[in-house]
Amino acid sequence: MPLALITGASRGIGAATARALADTHSLLLGGRDLVALQALADELPDARPWPVELTDPAALTAGTSGLSSLDVLVHSAGVARVGPLTEATADLWRTTYEVNVIAVVELTRLLLPALRSARGQVVLVNSGAGRTANAGWGPYAASKFALRAYADVLRAEEETSGIRVTSIYPGRTDTAMQKIVRADEGGDYQPDNYLRPESVATAIRTAVLASDDAHLTELILRTRPTR
């Protein structure tokens, strides 16, 4: 089976994506929580943990060194904190960019030869904040706008290699990260108001399984109003 590497696979959208691709791909499950990654791997037919620290360049180099061919790379790992710019410290900006942008850029760079070999696909889980920046979302929105620009450049540069590059823009999704965001905002957490991780994973699966002549460059998801 083709091989897919999914970051942020221990929970949320990443875990849902692993389950969505499990019947069509062998899986490398990226994340920090080895216990959660192993539990997920145990429930899937052909999956194994890939516990690599994404912000450690040496760890990334070591973790990717044995991959000569890769069909799908899904960037699902990310961090988000919200609050006014007056409270967004330099450390918060650095951390947000390290995880949401620089880790994505470096992991993709290291895996480009493997992706080219397979005429593979890079899927970047962006955000509605990567298209519209609102008050309180400074570092996060800026990082997602940067991720959008990176995807556009990567798509243009790799057009002749056959690599497909897809940006997914989900609205608010029922994840652990969303709970942190709502706590920062001081609001109640109502899961039914948000997209399910499985819904985002279905969109990712659609892009990955698109026929060879098709290149889904962007998919935007919003919550459907309840009746």
Q: Which of 97, 140, 150, 169 is catalytic?
A: 140
Dist CA 123 CA 154 (whole Å): 11
124: left (phi over 0), alpha (psi -120 to 50) or beta: beta
User: What does the pLDDT look like over 199-227, one tens digit per residue?
Assistant: 999 999 999 999 999 999 999 999 987 76
Identify the burial level of 37 via C-beta atoms within 10 angstroms of its C-beta, where 0-12 means exposed, 13-18 middle and 19 or more buried.
buried
Residue 140 annotated as catalytic: yes
Q: What does 78-146 look like in DSSP terms, one character per residue? A: -------GGG--HHHHHHHHIIIIIHHHHHHHHHHHHHHHHT-EEEEE--GGGT---TT-HHHHHHHHH
For the whole model, what pTM was predicted? Answer: 0.94
User: What does the pLDDT look like over 67-116, one tens digit per residue?
Assistant: 999 999 999 999 998 899 999 999 999 999 999 999 999 999 999 999 99
Dist CA 147 CA 105 (whole Å): 9
- Would you place residue 187 in the very low, low, confident or very high pLDDT band (cuts 50, 70, 90)? confident
Dist CA 166 CA 29 (whole Å): 19
User: What does the pLDDT look like over 166-182, one tens digit per residue?
Assistant: 999 998 876 777 777 77
pLDDT score, position 185: 66
Domain ranges of the chain: 3-221
CATH 3.30.2400.10 for the 3-221 domain, yes or no: no
Matching residue, tokens 């069509």: 24
